[in-house]
Amino acid sequence: MVTSTPRLYIIDEHGPVRRALADRLSRLGSVTVVGDAAEPSQAMEAIRTDVIDIVLIEIKRSDGLGLELVRQITAPPDAPKVIVLTTYPTDWEEAAAKRAGAAAYVLKDLDAKELLRHILAAPG
């Protein structure tokens, strides 16, 4: 269930990317960035214990766990929406992400307003 100002969590292995996304989206004021993580265990703990409406996740991970994380996040009935971010899109990856439960698949280099539009419009 999305609250009046959606609560957003960011999962990406690269700290500068997480911070830049959080900063870009926070400045727009339409979402509240409640946290971020590089490590799957830290992310899953936050998602289990905090109220999170939307998760942004880069699924191209060095540990190969990106799609599995999407499946784990979206498995519970009250799961947050998951939006996959990518720098290098592929058709097969988009299809796999959606099969795993992602509500949307977008490019990291969108401007902040366009990324926010995708976040707020994602079904789920």
pLDDT in tens, 33-79: 999 999 999 999 999 999 999 999 999 998 988 999 999 999 999 99
What is the percent of the chain where pLDDT is above 70?
A: 96
Residues 7 and 34: beta-carbon distance below 8 Å: yes
Which residues have C-beta within 8 Å of that of residue 44, sequence separation ≥ 6?
69, 72, 73
Structure token digits, residue 52 = 């999170």
Please tell me whether residue 121 adopts helix, strand or coil conformation: helix
Going along the chain from its start, the domains and CATH numbers come out as 7-121 (3.40.50.2300)
Q: What is the pLDDT of residue 72?
A: 96
pLDDT for 54: 95
pLDDT for residue 2? 46
Whole-model pTM: value is 0.91
- pLDDT for res 124: 59
Helix 66-74 / helix 91-100 crossing angle, nearest 10 deg? 30
